[in-house]
Structure 1
Amino acid sequence: MQRVLFGDNQFFGINHFSEEKARQQAIKFQDIEAILDILQSALQSGVSDFMCTTHDTVGQIAAEVRSNPEKWEGFTFHPGMPYAHKYANAVTELGYLGALKKFIPSGGMVDTLTRGARAVVAKDLESVMSMLIDAEMKMFEGLETPVIFLQNVVTDLILGLGAIDVFASFEAYIKRRYNAEAGFFTMNLPKLLEALHAAGVRKPIVCANVNKAGFRMSGGIEAYRDATNKYPARVIAMSVFASGGIPPREAIEWVVGEPYVESIVFGASSCRNIESSVALITEADRQLGRAA
């Protein structure tokens, strides 16, 4: 993974600190061209890894990248799934059959439905999981997806149910089917790392909130340090600015100083903010001897 990754929350009006800011961002990025301009700015600033949901708009981004490979050279997607709102909206708009036709991979409806039916009869969770993953990955066909993430809603549900073997199954399927690494979003890094270790998933890629304020860090800062010491992981820090609650320089200098943080993901609404964040991370890394 790259040291710095770019996220997509700002494109879809998600801000955990300010509803007004979220609304403004949602309005700004109604036009796909505005999103593509920001992604080009990120790419030109050296941030080529895009962490995203499987929102329909991301499908449009994927189509653009597929159609203009020279313009997007080096750009990679790191999709997180499932995106529950997408399915709910599709059923509302298209009905159940229409939603199936939209999401099931082309040419694979019979096979997918068969796998799904067998899964229901046999209660085969892995078959259900593979069917849903294939549907989610349809939009990224032909594109680079080196890491595929399980969204925190599902990760933490599995964690709460104690069905930790599902984590190992997810990792194995992602590697076998997509030649990619599995990643996990979570709101409870300490508990997840323990569970992944017990499931046999070694040095996992985990994306979690990591920030100086301890904002949305389940168990607190010290619990994160203890867990990563005991169960080594490749941690991607998100919400490093605590959704605007910490000044950028202060936030970056602190998170770069956390030795277990391998990568940092951030979102931005302007080219200037992208360049500023990248510069701050590079400077902080250099000061700690973590960059050439």
Structure 2
Amino acid sequence: MIDRILFGDNQFFAVNHISDEKSRAQSIQFKNDDAIVKTLDHARDAGLNTFMCTTHDRISAICDVIRRDPEKYEDYKIFPCMPYAHKYANAVTELGITGTIKQYVPGNLFGSLFKGGMAVLSKDYISLIELMIDAEMKMFKGINTPVIFLQNVITDLLIGLKAEEILMAYYNHVKKKHNAEPGFITMNMPKLYEILERNGVENPIICSSINKVGFRMSGSIEAYEQVLRTKRGRFIAMQVLAGGAIPPEEALEYICSLPNIESVLFGASSKRNIESTVSYINHFDEKQMTTAMAS
């Protein structure tokens, strides 16, 4: 079972969809890894034991902290989200294609290169996807990673290309090789659900922008709500504040009123904002439960 509230990492890497000024402030605030760990501990103190994060290079140092203190982080989980596209783009710029392959390809170098090389020559993108997953997962060795997500930049590209076989290759590889549940991040939840359902995936894990103003939601709000009402899945709502366009209380009351939202993903820079967000979600969940019992 996925926790009701998940803690995200956008704030650590200066990702803000509304304010460049806030992005710059966060970049300064989290320039040291200790600041990231401190905020994660604030989230843990508020009851949040799942960290959903990209495979940004700095996450490797956070994983080292977790591995060094297994007792403290005994029940802690990380949901990796891959690939972190900027990492590869920057690496190619700095190291070249060969240098990037040497840095990120896991396991036996020549065996992996052979597999990857054949993939390029034969346009076997499925093999490339498998290599990418294995490379990205290296930093999480020894850490509990029960769900592994495909980032929306790839998910939605594959949806647009109608490359369903590659989506399913990712799904199958994560289950078989990494003994984890595959998750998908998307900006088009109704379309992705249709594809997964058609390919026999039951009760999928889908993380998508869900908010009352349709921010970064491809398709209508009504289409999303229809899926939530009528389909079986483990749906995770992200960007619930619409990048700051909706006041937290109003945004979270709407999210908690929706059926079939298993989890809410959010990020915050301060202990106060973490605690207030958790408090709002708990309050509106209790309100929904009370209403349901009374009806």
Task: Name the TM-score, length of structure 1 as normaliser.
Answer: 0.95
CA distance in 2, matches of 1:245, 1:123: 43
CA distance in 2, matches of 1:278, 1:228: 22
Q: Is the CA contact (8 Å cut-off) linking 2:228 and 2:259 kept in structure 1?
A: no
Unaligned runs of 5+ in 2: none
- SS for the counterpart of 1:56 is coil
CA distance in 2, matches of 1:225, 1:109: 47
The equivalent of 2:255 in structure 1 is 255
Structure 1 residue 282: Cα displacement: 0.9
1:1-292 alignment runs, 5 A limit:
1-105=2-106, 107-289=107-289
Q: Is the CA contact (8 Å cut-off) linking 1:165 and 1:199 kept in structure 2?
A: no
Q: Percent identical across equivalent pairs?
A: 51
The one-letter amino acid of 1:29's match is F
Structure 1 residue 151: Cα displacement: 0.5
Structure 1 residue 92: Cα displacement: 2.4
Structure 1 residue 60: Cα displacement: 1.0
CA distance in 1, matches of 2:70, 2:212: 39
CA distance in 1, matches of 2:253, 2:178: 36
Q: Deviations along 1:224-283, whole A, 9 cap, x unmatched?
A: 012334442211000111111111111111101110211000000011111111111111
Task: Name the TM-score, length of structure 2 as normaliser.
Answer: 0.94
Q: Tell me which moved more, 209-218 or 48-57.
A: 209-218
The one-letter amino acid of 1:195's match is I
CA distance in 2, matches of 1:151, 1:164: 15
Unaligned runs of 5+ in 1: none
CA distance in 1, matches of 2:231, 2:257: 19
Q: Tell me which moved more, 121-130 or 232-241.
A: 121-130
- SS for the counterpart of 1:66 is helix
CA distance in 2, matches of 1:93, 1:259: 47
Structure 1 residue 125: Cα displacement: 2.1
Q: Is the CA contact (8 Å cut-off) linking 2:228 and 2:258 kept in structure 1?
A: no
Structure 1 residue 142: Cα displacement: 1.1
Q: CA RMSD in A?
A: 1.7
Structure 1 residue 220: Cα displacement: 2.2
Q: Is the CA contact (8 Å cut-off) linking 1:197 and 1:231 kept in structure 2?
A: no
CA distance in 2, matches of 1:80, 1:233: 19
- SS for the counterpart of 1:78 is strand
Structure 1 residue 117: Cα displacement: 1.8
